[in-house]
Amino acid sequence: MPPELVDSHCHLDFPDFDGELPDIIARARAAGVTRMVTICTRLHQEPKVRTIAEGYEGVFYAAGIHPMSAAEQPLVTVDQLVAYAAHPKFVGIGETGLDYHYTAESAEIQKTSLRVHIQAAQETGLPLIIHARAADEDMATILREGFQAKPYACVMHCFSSGAELARAALDMGFYLSMSGITAFPKSQELRDIFAAAPVDRILLETDSPYLAPPPYRGKRNEPAYTAFTAKAGAAVFGMSEAEFAAQTCANFDRLFTKAAR
C-alpha cells in the first residue's frame, strides 16, 4: 500500500476534468491520496465546487477570488466568505493573493481583495490560501500588517517565491506548500528554500490540472501525482517517502482542522 497523502490544493471543477471525476478520484485514492481540497477561484463557480465536495468522501473545498480575476469579479465581502464557512466541507479562505506577473495593472484591487480575505480568515479561524507571484514585497507587507492586527493561519500555496517571503511567512507560523515545480530539474534554488524551512510547516499539492511533476511534466496534472512531488520532497528533507508523507499529513491536519482525520 502506498503511504497516505493529501493534495491540499487542486481544481476539480475545471473543464480539464469534465466527465472524468470518478476516475480521477479513484486514481488518486489508488496512489494513496485520501483527501483533497478543491479550490474555487471565481465565486460564481462556488455551487459547482461545493457539489463536488459534497459528492465525494475525502474531498473538501475552499473559495475566494483569485488575484488574476480580482478586477473582473465583484469584490467579495467578509460576510459572504463567513457564510460559506458554515458549510461542513468548507475548510479554507481563498485562493487569494497578489499576481503582478500577469495582472500588475490591477494591483490596487488585488490588495483590497486580499485584505478582505485576510479579515475573513481572522473571523472564521480558517486558514488563508495565498497565491503569490512577482509581488513578494507587497505580499509580505500586507500579510504582516494583518497578522499584527489579529493573528491568523495561512498557507503559501504552490510556493515558488523568494527566500525572503518564505522567511516572512514562516516567522508568522505560516505553511509553505510544495507543488510539482519542486520536482523540476531546474528548481534547485526552490528546493534549497524548502530545505531551510521546518519540515512541520510543509504541505503537498498538485494545483492540478496545472504544473504536473516529472514524469508527467507538460501533461495534465491530477491529484494522484501528489506522490511524485512527495518523493521529491522526501529527498529535500532526507526522509523516507513514508516518513515525509506522514509528516505532511500531520501538518495538513494541524492547519486544515475541519478536514483533519
Cell of 144: 504582516
Whether 93 and 114 have beta carbons less than 8 Å apart is answered as no
d(CA 183, CA 30): 21
Instruction: State residue 86's pLDDT score.
Output: 98
Residue corresponding to grid cell 504544473: 211
In this predicted model, what pLDDT tens digit does every residue of 16-51 receive, in sequence order?
Answer: 999 999 999 999 999 999 999 999 999 999 999 999
Average pLDDT, the chain: 98
Instruction: State residue 168's pLDDT score.
Output: 98
In this predicted model, what pLDDT tens digit does every residue of 208-227 receive, in sequence order?
Answer: 999 999 999 999 999 999 99
Binding-site residue set: 9, 11, 95, 131, 157, 207
d(CA 110, CA 97): 7
The whole-number average pLDDT for the span 241-247 is: 98
| DSSP letter string, 23-46 | HHHHHHHHTTEEEEEEEESSGGGH
d(CA 210, CA 221): 5
Q: Listing from the earlier edge strand, what are the strands of the sheet with 128-133?
A: 5-10, 33-40, 59-63, 90-99, 128-133, 154-156, 175-178, 202-204
The helix-helix angle for 107-124 and 136-149 (nearest 10°) equals 30
- Domains belonging to the chain, first-starting first, are 5-259 (3.20.20.140)
Whether 219 and 174 have beta carbons less than 8 Å apart is answered as no
Q: What does each C-alpha distance from 70 to 64, 78, 109 come to in angstroms? A: 10, 15, 7
Instruction: State residue 257's pLDDT score.
Output: 98
In this predicted model, what pLDDT tens digit does every residue of 49-78 receive, in sequence order?
Answer: 999 999 999 999 999 999 999 999 999 999
Of 70, 116, 96, the residue nearest 9 (C-alpha):
96
The whole-number average pLDDT for the span 147-175 is: 98
Task: Tell me the sheet residues that pair with 130.
Answer: 96, 156
Q: How many CB atoms lie within 10 A of CB 18?
A: 8
In this predicted model, what pLDDT tens digit does every residue of 107-155 receive, in sequence order?
Answer: 999 999 999 999 999 999 999 999 999 999 999 999 999 999 999 999 9
Instruction: State residue 23's pLDDT score.
Output: 98
Instruction: State residue 17's pLDDT score.
Output: 97
Peptide bond into 2 cis (omega under 30): no
Of 49, 111, 113, the residue nearest 80 (C-alpha):
113
Return the beta strands (E) in 50-168 as ranges: 59-63, 90-99, 128-133, 154-156
Return the beta strands (E) in the chain as ranges: 5-10, 33-40, 59-63, 90-99, 128-133, 154-156, 175-178, 202-204
pTM of the model: 0.97
Binding-site residue set for a divalent metal cation: 9, 11, 95, 131, 157, 207
